[in-house]
């Protein structure tokens, strides 16, 4: 498809759940007794979207662009998404849509999906209906199913604007 002007990317992230941290997914604080461990706010959903965007343009991954430095400790992942958005725009692309899935045994995420989509869409400058967020359980299997972690996956489609 040389010259088509479209690029697809996929991203994945997983973080362990720990006590004493807020749970943030899609830029939304979610009521839960544990949060995700990580250098930033550990928002696995936004990290997956960032990696998908970077991957679509062959720009590496989130860790390459945002290493674990003191300046980035505790940073909102939405701020990282802003920087990734600027990299994508700087290459002459914008988002057509993102299809995301969050894998979590708990808490129930359905009440937060629209707000998460709205936050991500707001940063990316698109309508919320271009951000699909689904949730599924691990059914007792692996770290997600055992309630020890939350994972997220995202697929994005970009189109050339310039």
Give Cα separations from 77 to 4, 25, 26, 52, 74 (angstroms): 31, 9, 8, 14, 9
The pTM score is 0.95
Let me know if residue 84 belongs to a domain: yes
Classify residue 36: in a domain, yes or no.
yes
| Domain presence at residue 62 | yes
SS3 157: strand
What pLDDT, in 10s, does the model give residues 87-146?
999 999 999 999 999 999 999 999 999 999 999 999 999 999 999 999 999 999 999 999
Q: Report whether pLDDT(77) > 60.
A: yes
Q: Looking at the domain assignment, is residue 114 inside a domain?
A: yes
Question: Would you state the pLDDT for residue 3?
Answer: 55
Q: Identify whether 127 is part of a domain.
A: yes
pLDDT single digits (tens) 147-160: 999 999 999 999 99
How does pLDDT run across 22-59, given as a tens digit for each residue?
999 999 999 999 999 999 999 999 999 999 999 999 99
pLDDT of res. 1: 38
Domain membership flag for residue 150: yes
CATH number at residue 94: 3.30.1330.50
Q: Is residue 1 part of a domain?
A: no
Which of 1-15, 67-81, 93-107, 141-155 has the weakest average pLDDT? 1-15
* Contact in structure between 9 and 49 (CB atoms under 8 Å): no
Decide if 23 is inside a domain. yes
Q: What is the domain range of residue 78?
A: 6-160
Report the phi/psi class of residue 140: left, alpha or beta, with left for phi > 0 and alpha for psi in -120 to 50: left
For the chain, the domain total comes to 1
């Amino acid at each position: 498809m040389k010259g088509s002007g479209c690029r697809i990317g996929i991203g994945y992230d997983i973080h362990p759940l720990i006590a004493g941290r807020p749970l943030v997914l899609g830029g939304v604080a979610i009521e839960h007794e544990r949060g995700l461990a990580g250098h930033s706010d550990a928002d696995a959903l936004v990290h997956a979207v960032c990696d998908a965007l970077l991957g679509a343009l062959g720009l590496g991954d989130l860790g390459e662009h945002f290493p674990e430095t003191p300046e980035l400790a505790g940073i909102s992942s939405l701020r990282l998404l802003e920087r990734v958005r600027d990299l994508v725009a700087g290459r002459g692309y914008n988002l057509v849509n993102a299809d995301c899935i969050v894998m979590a045994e708990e808490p129930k995420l359905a009440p937060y999906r629209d707000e998460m989509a709205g936050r991500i869409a707001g940063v990316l400058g698109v309508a919320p209906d271009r951000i699909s967020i689904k949730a599924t359980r691990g059914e007792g299997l692996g770290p997600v199913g055992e309630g020890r972690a939350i994972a997220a996956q995202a697929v994005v489609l970009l189109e050339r604007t310039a």
